[in-house]
A and B are shown apart, each in its own frame.
Chain A
Amino acid sequence: MRLEELVPRHVAQTELLGQEIALWRADDGGVNAWENRCPHRGVRLSIGQNTGQDLRCRYHGWRFASGDGRCTQIPADPSRPPPAVLRATVYNVTEQAGFVWVALGRSAEPPPVMPADLPWLTLRSTPVEAGVDRVRAVLMDSKAVAHDAFTLISDVDQDGAQARLILMLQPMAAGRTAIHAALSPAPADRLGVLRHYAARLARLRDAAEAP
């Protein structure tokens, strides 16, 4: 997900390989990616409240701390601290090149084709109701070159020079994929370029969704 979209006191919601994820940024800047499920009653944490330090479940008000996801408060039982084993399921995150990268298992590594030292303009992400293989095939028809299973590269003309467009596929679930995209160098006409690629990706989305 684009880092910019983790706004203060908000809980974003996404999905990776069929696993729902609640994403939120604490006031100290720390980014959290948790299984979207309260360990108490299984309610989605993404309808909860980002208090700035912890995430408060909407159902019974249990609070889980930014960072390790440890339960810090159970309002129905104020007499003692919550047991240390009570915690949200926390995933590995990396912030780089304008995106937050989440891994369900191993550490979250951004693809090496997106060096952090280049100035990237992150484009609008496009959710597509089609599987990742279908989306990749449609993108390759549009002249993007597959770099690996989830990353494609396209060299595009911009302001009379060559720019690099990176397309990254997030397999949300079977039959659902998000296309994330970034451009380097950042163009002069930022808003115009954002609109151009949003429209272009919407056309590719429609092609991928066509029966």
Chain B
Amino acid sequence: MTAAQALVLHDDDQGEDSYKVRLLLAFLQVPHRRIPMDINPGEAHLSDAFLALNPLGARPVIVGEGFVLRDAHAILQYLAAEHDPAGLWSPRAPALAMASVAMWLGFAAELTTAVSAARRHDTFVDASLDAAAARARARRLLRVLDEHLWFAEQEDYAWLCPQSHPTIADIACFAPAVLCEEGDISRLTYPAIRRWLDRFKRLPRFTAMAGVFGD
């Protein structure tokens, strides 16, 4: 068995972060085994076995030959470095391209936190979350994303970073952006985001999930 074939994904099929990793696994055609987690109502993320893999309880986690990796964006970086030798999804040069991906990954983390709170409040009825504050935060971020993508189009770039190929930053922002309406955050006033979502869904080997339409 090769290291790649030994790769195991502990997967939350409703979560934005797990979706990001499934998307890149599909884009790069990485052989792996998926272990679906029963989060709601099973709370598999609070089990001793899962907390041993990730004491934070956050999904997803990947397990390979002799390593455990948590944090969706770290996993995206690992998969790109290991399985995309051309560096299209996570460019290592020029320096500004690499930094631009890192910058939008940071943005995506914030957007995911906000959208996830709004979605879980609405869809999974978690009343402990402040949905109004989460929505307001998500809308501020989506406004920034829409303006950025509008100007990217004006400069003839289809993606977040000034590259001809999408990067892991697009994947990291796509998941929360495409799921935000489940958290009662309308995309009506983000037309450039809507066009970018369409472009993304037309990528070869794009995979949908519950609540996401393919094309």
Contacts and interface: CB of A to CB of B under 8 A. Distances in A.
Nearest to B215: A49
B191 A12 contact: yes
Which 10 residue pairs across A and B have the least CB separation, nearest first?
Answer: A127-B189, A10-B198, A124-B150, A13-B188, A5-B191, A12-B191, A7-B195, A58-B213, A10-B195, A194-B154
B137 interface: no
Contact-residue size bin, chain B (C-beta under 8 Å from the other chain): 10 to 19
Place the interface of chain A in its size category. 20 to 34
B158 to A, nearest CB: 11
* Chain A interface mostly: mixed
A15 B188 contact: yes
A169 to B, nearest CB: 15
25 contacts: A1-B191, A5-B192, A7-B195, A9-B198, A10-B198, A13-B187, A13-B188, A13-B194, A14-B191, A15-B188, A20-B188, A49-B215, A58-B213, A124-B147, A124-B150, A124-B151, A125-B191, A172-B189, A178-B189, A191-B151, A191-B154, A191-B155, A195-B151, A198-B147, A202-B147
Interface of A: 1, 5, 7, 9-10, 12-15, 20, 47, 49, 58, 124-125, 127, 172, 176, 178, 191, 194-195, 198, 202
B187 to A, nearest CB: 7
Given A49-B215, A58-B213, 14 more contacts: A1-B191, A5-B191, A5-B195, A7-B195, A13-B187, A13-B191, A14-B188, A14-B191, A15-B188, A124-B151, A125-B191, A127-B189, A178-B189, A191-B154
Contacts of B155: 191
Contacts of A127: 189
Contacts of A14: 188, 191
B180 to A, nearest CB: 13
Contacts of A198: 147, 150-151
